[in-house]
Amino acid sequence: MQKTKVLLVDDDRELLRVYSKIFKLQGFDIVTCPSGEAALEMLAAHPISVVISDIIMPRMNGMELLKKIRHAYPYCEVIMLTAEGSITEAVDAMKQGAFSYFVKPADIDEMISSVKKAQELADAKGENSILRERIAEVSLKERFIGTSDAARQLRKKAEIIGQSDSTVLITGETGTGKEVIANLIHAGSRRAREPFICVNCGALNENLIESELFGSEKGAYTGAEKQRKGRFEAADGGTIFFDEIGELGLPMQVSLLRVLQEKTFERVGGTTPVHSDFRLIAATNRNLREEVNAGRFRADLYYRLNIIPVEVPPLRARKVDIRDLSMYFFERYAKEMNRRMKPLGEEMLKAFWNYDWPGNVRELKNIIERLIVLSSDGDITLDDLPDEMRAAVLPEETKTESGLLKNATRSFEKRLIEQVLESHRGNVTKTAEELGIARKNLYKKLSGYGICYKG
């Protein structure tokens, strides 16, 4: 059975334990969360297709969680659980986009059947969302955002390269925007109105790689019921982009070299040569010279690819572009999620500037999306940032604190929170007021320290 990623949300930990065991026995890949806040964090970190959520929960109830999921993850289907006395809320949930609902104790067989149907719908939506994502990024791909000298020079170089049909090798760290540059080159070429075919070499199945690239004839292998075009044939007249080409195995490197030289190939199971007029752009985060010296990459293919080299610098080398990129992604995701957000403050932009961004532009994009998803009041503060980023704006003397001092500080803070919380009998609002911090920040600390509270 194909495994299904399911998220089960309920403040009843015994129910989570029992249902988790049942679903795993049925072949599902299931994760659990005890609260709506934790569920949103899980959704931001992992690909979830189906959420099963209780309606009645403290702090963020199931209805609130449903609304946030519908805004932030439209491809995700939500199934609601309700007690007998809350049927009206379950009906309201259906009106607001829930896939289905079950009254506790739910019939497991019926629930499993519903999850399977929800998964099928989520998969279809997911494919469409990928298409929308690529369409939404067109403006970014067309102009490589940034005012730095490096960004301007790359845009200019892409414009010049686009006027030729020469093979291009784009190098740079993961997440720097190599595919953006490839799209930019294609958009400025005579092939701009023709297909741009992207091949992720790291994701290709080794057993199916030849049929993926060259296509296959009917009957070429089990399940080949009709002739199928490959990526090279689909790229005829346009551009084929090999992302992370350093991941290709040596046998496939030989086949690729022959296709580049002759622009012809045979489909798997076929003998008739197929011609394709394509332009090749390749990208890698590896040093291919070192790969050649180590015997992992063919020297003849390397020199065939490296006709026009383009190096994309890491984000830390063009920090002047961080503000423009941050504002672009912030406005884009706020609009896509229909969220009313307060503008990013200078303190936040300073934190972005001080951080080195090991994941480059992709990491910046992902973190801004996460911050918007998890924001409860439309205001993003430094406390919302991941720990490694918050450290970037702390005073130098704080950054150099020993592990012992940090642990002592955390231990004191935890004890203080527990004492104040106990004095208010678990009332989070009153505790936050006495401590002088926002409720949402206190919730994060309570969750981080594993402190139980009333709500």
- The CATH number covering residue 99 comes to 3.40.50.2300
Question: What is the sign, positive or negative, of the torsion defined by CA atoms of 21, 26, 29, 31?
Answer: negative
17 in the same domain as 147: no
Candidates 358, 364, 388, 367; CA nearest to 173 is 358
- The CATH number covering residue 416 comes to 1.10.10.60
pLDDT at residue 231, rounded to an integer: 92
pLDDT at residue 392, rounded to an integer: 64
439 in the same domain as 334: no
Domain residue limits at 422: 401-449
CB 28 within 8 A of CB 6: yes
- The CATH number covering residue 276 comes to 3.40.50.300
351 in the same domain as 267: no
Q: Buried b vs exposed e over 356-366: b needs ≥16 C-beta within 10 Å?
A: ebebbbebbbe
The tens digit of pLDDT for each residue in 194-207 reads: 999 999 988 777 77
Residue 454 lies in a domain: no
Residue 114 lies in a domain: yes
pLDDT at residue 197, rounded to an integer: 93
The tens digit of pLDDT for each residue in 392-401 reads: 665 554 444 4
Cα 434 from Cα 413, distance rounded (Å)? 14
pLDDT at residue 408, rounded to an integer: 62
pLDDT along the chain (455 residues), means of 10: 70 88 87 90 83 90 88 83 73 82 85 86 61 45 79 93 96 94 92 90 79 86 78 93 94 92 90 93 96 96 96 94 93 89 88 91 93 86 80 53 57 81 83 82 77 67
Domain count for the chain: 4
Q: Buried b vs exposed e over 66-92: b needs ≥16 C-beta within 10 Å?
A: bebbbebbbbbbbbbbbeeebeebbeb
32 three-class SS: strand
